[in-house]
Amino acid sequence: MTAAQVRRRFRFVKTDDASENRMTPVGYLMTNFGQKWREPVIKRLNELVALQSGWDGYDGIAVTFENAYFAVGILDACCRGDDPTPQIVPGASGDLQIEWHLEKGDIELHIVAPNDVHAWHVDVNTGFEGEGMLLTNDFTAVVRWIKNLTEPTRATVPAAS
């Protein structure tokens, strides 16, 4: 798929770009094509920005365009092309959560607003309760977490004597 094709598939377009002055999340350089996760993520985000008011049985609103854009920015910054597709779930206030649940652990990124992300992960190093942190525009920790969960476990090779 070409970058132009990818851009055409990125449909939740908003004309007044409220995120213009925000900083781009820091992580991998954006490649903008070839990511296996991109198409299902865009499809899911398009569903979530179109949720009806009250979708949660209370006063829930749809995921905001700003949060959806920021979510894609985080994924562009953090994920390699063959990284697993995350699951995305909506919050009641226009927020959303990006989640990976893998054999080696879990990662959850709660996007409250652009540049306001509560990140949490659990793996063999964190213990059962996991570890949480607040992130704004630097997602290098998430890059590391994803790498830890997706890379094959390497057997320890004793040094040659």
Are the C-beta atoms of 26 and 77 separated by less than 8 Å?
yes
C-beta neighbour count of 53 within 10 angstroms? 9
Listed ranges 7-15, 73-81, 95-103, 138-146: which one lies at the site for another protein (CB under 8 A):
95-103
Amino acid code (one letter) for 43: K
Write out the binding residues for another protein, residues 2-41 only, by CB under 8 A.
Answer: none
Residue of the chain from 41, 74, 117, 122 that contacts another protein (CB under 8 A): 122
76 Cβ contact partners less than 8 Å away, ≥ 6 residues apart: 25, 27, 28, 30, 31, 32, 35
Token pair for 62: 């749809």
91 binds another protein (CB under 8 A): yes
Q: Which is nearer to another protein, 53 or 161 (CB)?
A: 53
Residue of the chain from 12, 33, 37, 55 that contacts another protein (CB under 8 A): 55
93 binds another protein (CB under 8 A): yes
**Closest distance of CB 20 from another protein, Å:** 23
**Closest distance of CB 52 from another protein, Å:** 8
Listed ranges 13-21, 29-37, 70-78, 128-136: which one lies at the site for another protein (CB under 8 A):
128-136
d(CA 5, CA 2): 5
Give the DSSP letter string of 75-122.
HHHH--TTSPPPEEEE-TBS-EEEEEEETTEEEEEEEEETTEEEEEEE
Site of interaction with another protein (CB under 8 A): 48, 51-52, 54-60, 87, 89-93, 95-97, 99, 101-105, 108, 110, 112, 120, 122-124, 128-130, 132, 153
